[in-house]
Amino acid sequence: MTLNELNNLNAGDAYKAFETCCVAPRWVDAMVNARPFESEAQVYKHADTIWAQLSEPDYLAAFEGHPQIGDVSTLRAKYANTAEKAGHEQSGMQQASDAVLEQMMTLNQDYLMKFGFIFIVCATGKSAKQMLALIEQRLPNERAKELSIAAGEQAKITRIRLEKIL
């Protein structure tokens, strides 16, 4: 859609459009209310500024909009509004061996139990082995550090998705 079309959507349709980028309700509401935007650059700047003003509950809400890396079954069911984007973003997992997928699923569970949220990584352009290495590197982190890293990864994902809708 064009910037003009985005600016002229009714609030409900704008909410749905932004929700395909990030499901955190406070972020989506703020983006809807920030319209009209003068340029695409302003959309991206507002997205980053709003994200930076949010807190842990908002980050956790955003993370809920993602399937676990490599968990194809949840792409279809729970995450219907972002499934197409997430599936494409995780395309590196499609080439993974069974051993890598099994290890990823085990580490996903370890990560979830340790931090209380799923492993978030901007998977675009990353192979399954790269994502596996990243989860292994991040598992030893303290929760506050990991939450900050995951929030940064979510911001990257949101930006990519915004670029795709405009």
Give the C-alpha distances (Å, rounded to integers) separating 146 from 60, 124, 140: 12, 20, 9
Question: How far apart, in whole angstroms, are the C-alpha atoms of residue 133 and residue 78?
Answer: 26
Helix, strand, coil tally for the chain in percent (to 5): 70, 0, 30
Residues 6+ apart with CB under 8 A from 108: 68, 69, 70, 71, 118, 119, 135
Distances (CA, A) of 145 to 13, 134, 138, 148, 152: 35, 14, 9, 5, 11
Domain range annotation of the chain: 66-143
How would you write the pLDDT of the chain (166 residues) with one tens digit per residue?
999 999 999 999 999 999 999 999 999 999 999 999 999 999 999 999 999 999 999 999 999 999 888 765 553 444 345 445 444 555 556 666 778 888 999 999 999 999 999 999 999 999 989 999 999 999 999 999 999 999 999 999 999 999 999 9
Rg (alpha carbons) of the chain, rounded to whole number = 16
CB neighbour burial string for 88-105, b if at least 16 within 10 angstroms, e if fewer: ebbebbeebeeebbebbe
Instruction: Please report the pLDDT score of residue 75 as a whole number.
Output: 39
Distance CA(128)–CA(93), nearest Å, equals 5
What is the number of H-type helices and E-type strands within the chain? Answer: 10, 0
Per-residue model confidence as pLDDT tens digits over 70-90: 765 553 444 345 445 444 555
To the question of domain 66-143 being in CATH 1.10.3330.10, the answer is: yes
Report d(CA 118, CA 154) in Å as an integer: 12
**Residue 68 confidence (pLDDT):** 83
Using alpha carbons, list the distances in angstroms from residue 98 to 33, 155, 164. Answer: 45, 30, 31
The predicted pLDDT at position 95 comes to 64
